[in-house]
Amino acid sequence: MKRVWLLMLVGVALVSAAPTVDGNVDPEAEGYTLVAENPTYTDKQGADLLAFYYAIANDSLYLAITTQNTASWGVAYGIVLDTEEGGYSGIPDTLPDSWGRRFYYPEWQPDYQLYFWYDEGGQQITSQNFNKYVGGDSPNYWERWQYDFATFVYAANYGGEQGLQALEVAFALSSIGNPTQIKACAYIAGGDNSSAVDILPMDPSVSLTGGEEWTDWDTITTYFVLNVREHTNKFNMQPILNGVRVTGSGTYVLEVYTVDGKKILTRKVTVNGRADVTFNLKPGLYLVREGKLGASKFIVAK
């Protein structure tokens, strides 16, 4: 009996956890949702985004980016989040963002910025901030932001002379007011008074080729909406004999694991209300996990 319960605990640890913030981005295993990607290489060997992901679990927001960098350049990695009316819009040629980068948001106004500086010589991140826009009328951009207003964790995957390969970030949703949806984008910029040279989702103001792109003002109109409510409020899963009862609205990925953590089945289900989902399993105890949200329940098969 002791051995059985040990296996059950191992299974929970293996398959019911949220994404692990370790710099190794595995979208399928960690339940990340793809925001945007661009597998086409640019002419910026050390500033080339590949994909942007997010996940919501344990009342936290997880964000991840991967690159296809082939060189180590000193650049800034930024992620902006818009959760409510108002926020930073920028004033071209006058008011840059919290790190002095040249961004103008005429159609949406980010409230929060995550920034990371990757040092080309040290080949690692050497500074980082999580900043909240507080407004005001100061002509100094840094006086309009509260720097490092909340705690967050991050981890990166470094490729030496190949530059940053991946970055993962996580923080409590309560730190940004528990929003029901979030507008977001991720980008790479240069040093002071620079602008984006790559961005996801792609935006027409950011050219992926040409040296002049480093120093212009970028007018960002494109964003992706992260639907927090869809992930946290609508979904519910309860065990039934040989399966689970799913309540929610949307498409969910149900993964079935043995108690020692081996995935044996994956099924996509679309629900608008409530549905009973059963599996053809050998008699025993199993764990069912929703792949994107991380919610899990033990079930008994007979």
CATH of the domain at 66: 2.60.40
Q: Is residue 290 part of a domain?
A: yes
Q: How confident is the model at residue 260 (pLDDT cuts 50, 70, 90)?
A: confident
Output the CA–CA distances (angstroms, integers) from residue 195 to 92, 243, 283, in the order listed: 11, 51, 59
Give the model's pLDDT for residue 16. Answer: 38
Which of 196, 229, 262 represents a domain boundary (last residue)? 229
Question: Are residue 46 and residue 155 in the same domain, yes or no?
Answer: yes
Domain that holds residue 111: 32-229
Q: How many domains does the chain have?
A: 2
* Residue 261: pLDDT band with limits 50, 70, 90: confident
Segment 263-288, tens digit of pLDDT = 999 999 988 778 999 999 999 999 99
DSSP state of 211: G
CA distances, 273 to each of 224, 236, 245, 290, 296 (Å): 26, 10, 11, 16, 19
* pLDDT tens readout for residues 167-181: 999 999 999 999 989
What is the pLDDT confidence band of residue 9, given thresholds at 50, 70 and 90? very low
Domain annotation covers residue 118 = yes
Q: Given 183, 209, 229, which residue is the final one in a domain?
A: 229
Q: What distance separates the 2 farthest-apart alpha carbons in the chain?
A: 70
Q: What is the pLDDT of residues 50-73, one digit of tens each?
A: 999 999 987 899 999 999 999 999
222 and 88: one domain? yes
- Global pTM reads 0.74
